[in-house]
Amino acid sequence: MKTETIYYEEPYCRRFRGKVLSCRPKGKTWQVELDRTAFYPEGGGQPGDQGVLDTVNVLDTKEKDGIIFHETDRPLKEGSYVTGGINWPLRLSRMQEHTGEHIVSGIIHRLFGFNNVGFHMGSECVTLDLDGVLTQDQLHVVELMANDAVYQNKKVEITYPNEEELKKIDYRSKKELTGAVRIVTIPDYDVCACCGTHVSHTGEIGAIKLIGFLHYKGGIRISMLCGIRAMQDYEEKQNGVAAVSALLSAKPGEIAGAVERLKESETQLRQENAELRHQLLERKAETLVPENGVFCIFEKNLKGDDLRSFCLELKKKSRLSAVFSGENGRYQYALSSDDDSRVVGKALNAAFHGRGGGKPELVQGSVQEEEEKVRAYFQALSEK
């Protein structure tokens, strides 16, 4: 026997009574079947409802062959009557987002002819996939129009047209439909076949915000928030702006310019710091003397450009220079030789579990060995 679906006839029903027809264990949870339910099961991109049955938690709701199963954390007695309570803030948020998605998809279809080919309500946001590409400016227009539909507080109409009536309706659908078709209409904005739950008037959506998009499978994937979650997102971002504003001593509307100036200042400081480090390494190189034309130098906290430039400065007064930086037997190195540096580096890597490479004039890599043994290795080279 199919489950009686209260959520379609009374989508705002938060509490109801139902009889437990069956309760079967499934892993660490139980699957409870009721004769009637207000819990919406997962479907059409909308997750299943959560809530309680008496004192038992409903973790998820699913449907199979017209029978709705409530996934609970504890069992219920078969044949007993229970009171169901919907997690209403969560359900309302999903109703807002599902209705908002209809408006956005309807506007895009009407203006640009693109279809919504994928829809998912995730834990972070709602995503909808289009079979065409829109620009940032076009999406901004869509967002403005969608929120105008909210302000107009349009009635959301639910109908079940017969087969003949359905043939006369131009409606959106991602698949071929048979049997009774549930049509959701938002006048002037969208007509769509849909099995989800929706608010009764668009004003209840509160706000529609498109928070991002990316190119996806030849089209785009839009991320959006509506109602409760849109306001939570706004509050979080507003707090972030206020914090940055205070740190930069700039008004909220001026923080972008302040950050740009800070970035330019940081770039200049990095350049000046790099030049000073280079000069310091040049002076240090002038004071050092190679042993038999070979340098083996260990320096702390040298990376990247500094490691390379110091090695090349030392090479100016030697036939072989090797600079190591690191600790605890793990070192990065730069090496330059009168001979092919790649050959010398390859031998070094083989001797000390190393890896790396480069060009004839300079190689870089890493080795794993004690400093004393590395120094002894280059001492032997200098004596050849």
Q: What is the CATH number of the domain that holds 224?
A: 3.30.980.10
308 in Cβ contact with 341 (< 8 Å): no
Within a domain: residue 139? Answer: yes
Measured distance CA(190)–CA(176) in Å, rounded: 18
Q: Are residues 159 and 271 in the same domain?
A: no
Residue 330's domain spans which residues?
A: 288-383
DSSP 8-class letter at 203: G
Residues 35 and 163 in one domain: no
- pLDDT value, residue 303: 85
Question: Rounded to an integer, what distance in angstroms lies between the CA atom of residue 358 and that of residue 160?
Answer: 72
Say which CATH number the domain at 379 has: 3.10.310.40
User: What does the pLDDT read at residue 304?
Assistant: 84
Predicted confidence at residue 174, as pLDDT, reads 64
Question: Cα 85 to the chain's mean position, in Å?
Answer: 32
Closest of 326, 331, 300, 297 to residue 312, by C-alpha = 297
**304 located within any domain:** yes
240 falls within a domain:
no
DSSP track, 214-278: EEETTEEEEEEEEHHHHHHHHHHHHHHHHHHHHHHT--GGGHHHHHHHHHHHHHHHHHHHHHHHH
User: H or E element: which one contains 96?
Assistant: helix 88-112
Beta-carbon contacts of residue 265 (< 8 Å; ≥ 6 apart): none
Give the number of C-alpha atoms closer than 13 A to the C-alpha of residue 25, restricted to the C-beta side.
2
43 and 98 part of one domain: no
The answer on 102 and 223 residing in a single domain is yes
Q: N- to C-terminal Cα distance for the chain? A: 93
> Residue 222 falls within a domain, yes or no?
yes
Per-residue pLDDT, 178: 61
228, 328: one domain? no
pLDDT given for residue 173 in this prediction? 84
* Residue-wise pLDDT tens digits, 214-259: 999 999 999 999 999 999 999 999 999 999 999 999 999 999 999 9
The answer to whether residue 242 is domain-embedded is no
User: What is the spatial distance between Cα 104 and Cα 224, in angstroms, rounded to a whole number?
Assistant: 10
Sheet containing 126-130: give its strands across: 116-121, 126-130, 219-226, 208-216
Report the number of distinct structural domains present in the chain. 4
What DSSP character marks residue 291? B
Domain check: are 231 and 100 in the same one?
Answer: yes
Do 270 and 254 sit in the same domain of this protein? yes
Residue 205 covered by a domain: yes
Whether 60 contacts 122, CB under 8 Å: no
Lookup result for tokens 């199919």: 2
Q: Are residues 294 and 353 in the same domain?
A: yes
Do both 269 and 231 map to the same domain? Answer: no
Residues 209 and 298 in one domain: no
* Res 348: pLDDT: 96
Q: What is the pLDDT along the chain (384 residues), one digit of tens a residue?
A: 799 999 999 999 999 999 999 999 999 999 999 999 999 999 888 999 999 999 999 999 999 999 999 999 999 999 999 999 999 999 999 999 999 999 999 999 999 999 999 999 998 999 999 999 999 999 999 999 999 999 999 999 999 998 888 888 899 986 666 668 999 999 999 999 998 999 999 999 999 999 999 999 999 999 999 999 999 999 999 999 999 999 999 999 999 999 999 999 999 999 999 999 999 999 999 999 999 999 999 998 898 899 999 999 999 999 999 999 998 899 999 999 999 999 999 999 999 999 999 999 999 999 999 999 999 999 998 887
Say if residue 299 is exposed, middle or buried (CB neighbours under 10 Å; 0-12, 13-18, 19+): middle
Whether 102 and 156 map to the same domain: the answer is yes
What would the pLDDT profile of 261-288 be if each residue is shown by its tens digit?
Answer: 999 999 999 999 999 999 999 999 999 9
In a domain, residue 229? The reply is: yes
